[in-house]
């Protein structure tokens, strides 16, 4: 991919696959980047040399700014809208159905679809400065595609609050509500904690981890249809006058 569409890099060492994504606009997620991430996760899930996946993003700013505003602004019909939001659905399904544990490293603020990535991971380690926010309602849409995995991870009450008020919630809130599994004070400690856990998991029984993960996500077998319906709904809402004004900054 070109730098404008972002990049995905992967390396495998001693059974640990480290996946890192980058986009110049605060690690936002345009369609090509979403597709590449999903392909990468699926391929690593099938790689017998990989026993655990470490997922993160690059830079010192945001972990993920969510959907690409430029791409949202370019949507002109429902089919294109559904296709864009299906990018998030495809990535979420790849994450939860990958037979390897996915440990996500969250170094900074996370918005919208980025929160969905964290929720669809099996274990997330973050810094205390890694605040989270669902801002979709503010731009006339709603966290429909990422909603099921977030609700499953933190519960209906916490998810409803995030979806309704779009306030920032700090890392301690995310830890208390189960979005994060562990919190570190700084990036150096974050990297140490991620390395310690992934090294431990790389030496663990792959079959046991695969069966555990299947249990974690039991009951999501119907999510292909559910997330496709949610993507279609978002693709329709993004064309409403309210959403167009909010996305283009004219309302």
| Secondary structure of 197-241 as H, E, C letters | HHHHHHCCCHHHHHHHHHHHCCCCCCHHHHHHHHHHHHHHHCCCH
Residue 10 within a domain: yes
Residue 214 within a domain: no
CATH number of the domain encompassing residue 122:
3.90.226.10
- Mean pLDDT of the region 91-105: 98
The Cα-based distances of 198 to 54, 71, 84, 108, 223 in angstroms read: 7, 35, 32, 20, 28
- When divided into structural domains, the chain yields a total of 1
Residue 51 within a domain: yes
Residue 217 within a domain: no
pLDDT over 80 at 1, yes or no: no
Residue 50 within a domain: yes
Q: Which residues pair with 127 in a beta bridge?
A: 184
User: What pLDDT does 251 receive?
Assistant: 39
Residue 117 within a domain: yes
pLDDT over 80 at 4, yes or no: no
With CA atoms as reference, report the closest residue to 138 among 108, 119, 109, 163.
163
pLDDT, one tens digit per residue, over 31-84 is 999 999 999 999 999 999 999 999 999 999 999 999 988 898 899 999 999 999
pLDDT, one tens digit per residue, over 109-150 is 999 999 999 999 999 999 999 999 999 998 899 999 999 999
- Mean pLDDT of the region 194-205: 98
Pairwise CA distance, residues 104 & 56, whole Å: 6
Residue 234 within a domain: no
Q: pLDDT band at residue 250, thresholds of 50, 70 and 90?
A: very low
By mean pLDDT, which of 146-155, 206-215, 221-230, 240-249 is the weakest? 240-249
- Are 17 and 11 a contacting pair, CB within 8 Å? yes
Residue 172 within a domain: yes
Tell me the residue range of the domain where 76 lies.
3-197
């Amino acid at each position: 991919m070109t730098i404008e569409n972002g990049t995905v890099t992967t390396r495998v060492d001693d059974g640990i696959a480290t996946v890192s994504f980058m986009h110049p606009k605060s690690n936002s997620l345009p369609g090509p980047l979403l597709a590449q991430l999903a392909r990468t996760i699926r391929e690593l899930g099938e790689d017998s040399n990989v026993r655990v996946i470490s997922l993160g993003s690059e830079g010192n700013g945001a972990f993920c700014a969510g959907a690409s505003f430029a791409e949202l602004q370019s949507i002109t019909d429902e089919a294109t809208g559904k296709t864009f939001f299906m990018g998030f659905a495809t990535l979420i399904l790849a994450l939860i159905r990958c037979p390897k544990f996915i440990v996500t490293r969250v170094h900074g603020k996370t918005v919208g679809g980025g929160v969905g990535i964290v929720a669809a991971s099996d274990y997330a380690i973050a810094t205390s400065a890694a605040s989270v926010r669902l801002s979709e309602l503010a731009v006339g849409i709603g966290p429909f595609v990422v909603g099921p995995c977030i609700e499953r991870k933190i519960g209906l009450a916490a998810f409803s609050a995030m979806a309704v008020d779009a306030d920032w919630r700090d890392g301690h809130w995310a830890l208390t509500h189960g979005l994060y599994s562990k919190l570190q004070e700084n990036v150096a400690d974050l990297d140490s904690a991620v390395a310690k856990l992934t090294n431990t998991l790389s030496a663990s029984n792959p079959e046991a981890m695969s069966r555990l993960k299947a249990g974690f996500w039991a009951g999501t077998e119907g999510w292909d249809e559910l997330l496709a319906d949610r993507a279609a709904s978002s693709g329709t809402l993004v064309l409403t006058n309210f959403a167009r004004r909010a996305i283009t900054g004219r309302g």
